[in-house]
Structure 1
Amino acid sequence: MAEQQSSPEQAPTPGPQSLAKHAQGSIHRDPFIRAFLDKTPKDIAESFTDAQLLQLKLMFGTRAKAQHAVDFRPIIGGFGWNYYLVFLFGRNRRELTRAEQRAASAGRVVALLVGSFVLFSIVITSLYLLKSFLGIDLLPNFSLGLWSWLNS
């Protein structure tokens, strides 16, 4: 069988070896890796393997690309001073430290208590208005005045 020679205008189809070689060098073309290596001393930057660079990108490179449901970043200031305010809201995909877990649990308890109080207040007010609408007088000569205020 004769081997086929590839002409200059016909590129050979990439095989597994050429894909592996291409993928191996592609980490150095990544913008995060290039910026990281530019800030690193040259002798240290040359000592990183592709696997180490890929792990660095996985650990630190994705932070800037996080998507949030709400991403509000106004700048406040003037006359030579500037402050920034960042409000982010979205699903937390990070691993929480023990202190963050305690704070999250405390936040859930506070939210549950506030929500319960609001719900209880709405139910009591609704029952009071229903009682007043039906003309039921539980305490003679006493009224909160809510029903008469709504009727006026």
Structure 2
Amino acid sequence: MAWSHVGLNCVDQKTTEEFYTRYFGFTRARVVDLGEARIVFLRKGDAYLELFAAGDAEPALGVPPAVAGGDGPQAPGRMRHLAFQTDSVDAFLASLGDAAEVTLGPLDFDDFICGWRTVWVRDPDGVIVEVSQGFEDDRTHEGSHDKDGA
């Protein structure tokens, strides 16, 4: 099994595409023309974002993404946030300027991993995006599960 993509509903596909290409390094991989609609696939390495034009329906569960803050919606069945790694959270924020609202942070997590720093921002459609530097896996836990099966 291999990871495939995340599908995002967009108020304006062009604006969302520009946000992820400019600030996260994605490039357009494919456009599927469905007649009255289209699907835009963005790619960065093995990661894909699939951009759909949003419908008129309200979110089914929890707080709508446009008003979710912090690190994202906490309701069951809702994606909390997308997450990306960078070499420098501060350099990312400098390049971002006022193009997106910071919803939380930046926060330092040196108590857990020396150099781990994270910020959360809101994309053009209200999706919370986490950007971190310095996160590393704990190699002592590779392939293991805790007593609850997690």
Q: Normalising by structure 2, what TM-score? A: 0.16
More strand by share: 2
Q: Could you tell me the TM-score, scaled by structure 1's length?
A: 0.16
Normalized per residue, the structure richer in helix is 1
Structure exhibiting the larger radius of gyration computed from Cα positions: 1
